[in-house]
Amino acid sequence: MFEATTILGYRSNGTAVIGGDGQVTFGNTVLKGNATKIRTLHSGKILAGFAGSTADAFNLFDMFENILENKKGDLLKSVIEFSKEWRKDRYLRRLEAMMIVLNTQHIFILSGTGDVVEPEDGKIAAIGSGGNFALAAARALDKHAELDPKSLVEESLKIAADLCIYTNSNIKLLTLEDE
């Protein structure tokens, strides 16, 4: 588990949202509190978030975006191809990194060990040191609260920030809706 960040992805009823906190830590020291760990890909049609080092994030985002372009934005085909490439690369497979990628139809967790995981419920995924806190909060809020997807992600990340010392409440969100 990374002592690095918290990223939460959520999709429901034609809306996809990804959120991440802004804290960057090095060991037990906070280096920065307002980092951006999420982004849009493929002309704003895919959302992605990253847990791991910043340099690795840029390399992996670029690699994934190239594959998305080659697969004409097909997220399912892209995650499978990306996983193969990530796993085959001698340097990249050693990264202790994870990604969440989603659109309004699919959500996946990707890792350098070749994992491509679509959550059982098909709608909520979380990574990073506060990921389990955010995931638990999102599941509870999804089941028991009447929140729009953006508010659900934001509130879940705030709960994770209250519990995880490697997560702060400087939250950034990106939203994607079916046209």
Considering the candidates 5, 6, 25, 104, report the single residue annotated as catalytic: 5
Scan for tokens 């959500």, then name that residue. Answer: 107
**How many Cβ atoms from other residues are within 10 Å of residue 170's Cβ?**
16
**How distant is the alpha carbon of residue 87 from its chain centre?**
19
152 close to 16: Cβ distance less than 8 angstroms: no
Radius of gyration of the chain (CA): 15
Q: What pairs with residue 131 in β-bridges? A: none
CB atoms within 10 A of CB 53: 15
The answer to whether residue 5 is catalytic is yes
Q: Which string of b and e fits 121-148 if b means at least 16 CB within 10 Å?
A: eebbbbbbbbbbbbbbbbeebbeeeeee
What is the set of active-site residues?
Answer: 5
